[in-house]
């Protein structure tokens, strides 16, 4: 009798949980905007910690390398402050490199963009002339109506549209300024968090170990630990290799474009190399952009040479 009652009760519990699950799923989709907004807000709060984790992940190895070297020093005070000294040196070098890159490339990039916009009417005219020549040489192309499609486009009109956009969307620009400010603030907090993570690495790892051991035995914990260590080594080496590869390509591409006298050669070469950090499609997309800008600014044959040499 008791078994029948328990079975009946269990059946009603299953029905209740099923109905609750259906209501939860329905309400979730019914308020998907609010839920996504809440997740977005949560992610925005966690952004500094994510930045700090990434910085700590990549800077921890050079800090550890220097700490080992300072620990072997015969001067006792150096041995005692080896960790602080290593963190100080690594972060000073990191900030110096970041400052050099931003200080040299950012003004150049801004100048190149403004120069490109200033020459936009000339580039539009060059495109029109080239398409018109192609249509005169190949009458079949005239049927496609390509020239008529872009005939109304002019650089002056584009610049005028951009100026109207500037006047009518001041709020959007202010929002953009706020976004940049938030990004800078998140980066600053992330920078501080990364220093704390490296300083308290042993304590944080000890906490993670204690939590993991609550859910797995010693053998499983050691197996998981070995996989995490291998993954850590592989991921670090992969991104280090990708960065060195992109840096080398940036240097080579900048030299190629400078030799070809392509305007904005250094900036385009740097961007071409850095886009190699995006697997597969990055080099293709930026390669097409570089060749197109070279074609507009320096002509067909220079663009052809740029395409061949960059490839």
Q: Which two tokens stand for residue 116?
A: 């490109």
The reported pLDDT for the residue numbered 174 is 47
Q: How confident is the model at residue 112 (pLDDT cuts 50, 70, 90)?
A: low
Q: Are 269 and 262 in contact (CB under 8 A)?
A: no
With b for 16 or more beta-carbon neighbours within 10 A and e for fewer, the 97-131 pattern comes to eeeeeeeeeeeebeebeeebeeebeebbeebeeeb
Of all residues in the chain, the percent with pLDDT exceeding 90 is 3
The reported pLDDT for the residue numbered 248 is 92
- The whole-chain average pLDDT of the chain stands at 76
**Residues 182-224: pLDDT tens digits?**
777 778 888 888 888 888 888 888 888 888 878 888 888 888 8
The pLDDT of 69-87, averaged and rounded, is 83
Is 70 exceeded by the pLDDT of residue 34?
A: no
Q: Which of 1-5, 83-87, 108-112, 307-311 has the lowest mean pLDDT?
A: 1-5
More confident residue, 26 or 196: 196
Q: Is the pTM of this model over 0.75?
A: no
């Amino acid at each position: 009798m008791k078994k029948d009652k328990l079975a009946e009760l269990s059946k009603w519990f299953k029905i209740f949980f099923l109905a609750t699950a259906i209501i939860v799923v329905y309400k979730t989709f019914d308020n998907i905007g609010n839920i996504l907004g809440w997740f977005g807000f949560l992610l925005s709060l966690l952004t500094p910690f994510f930045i700090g984790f990434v910085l700590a992940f990549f800077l921890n190895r050079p800090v550890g390398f220097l700490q080992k070297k300072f620990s072997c020093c015969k001067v006792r005070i150096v041995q005692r402050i080896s960790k602080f000294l290593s963190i100080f040196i690594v972060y000073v070098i990191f900030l110096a490199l970041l400052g050099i890159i931003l200080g040299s490339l950012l003004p150049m990039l801004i100048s190149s963009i403004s120069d490109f916009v200033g020459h936009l009417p000339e580039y539009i005219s060059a495109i029109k002339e080239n398409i018109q020549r192609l249509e005169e040489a190949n009458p079949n192309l005239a049927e496609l109506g390509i020239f008529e499609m872009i005939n109304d486009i002019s650089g002056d009109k584009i610049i005028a549209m951009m100026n109207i956009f500037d006047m009518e969307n001041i709020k959007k620009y202010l929002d953009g300024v706020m976004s940049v400010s938030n990004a800078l603030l998140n980066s600053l907090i992330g920078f501080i968090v990364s220093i704390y993570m490296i300083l308290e690495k042993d304590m944080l790892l000890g906490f993670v170990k204690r939590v993991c051991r609550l859910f797995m035995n010693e053998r499983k914990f050691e197996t998981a630990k070995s996989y995490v260590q291998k993954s850590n080594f592989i991921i670090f080496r992969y991104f280090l290799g990708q960065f060195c590869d992109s840096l080398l390509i940036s240097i080579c591409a900048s030299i190629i474009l400078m030799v070809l006298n392509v305007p904005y050669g250094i900036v385009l070469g740097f961007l071409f190399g850095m886009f190699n950090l995006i697997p597969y499609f990055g080099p293709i997309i930026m390669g097409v952009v570089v060749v197109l800008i070279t074609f507009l600014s320096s002509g067909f044959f220079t663009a052809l040479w740029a395409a061949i040499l960059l490839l």
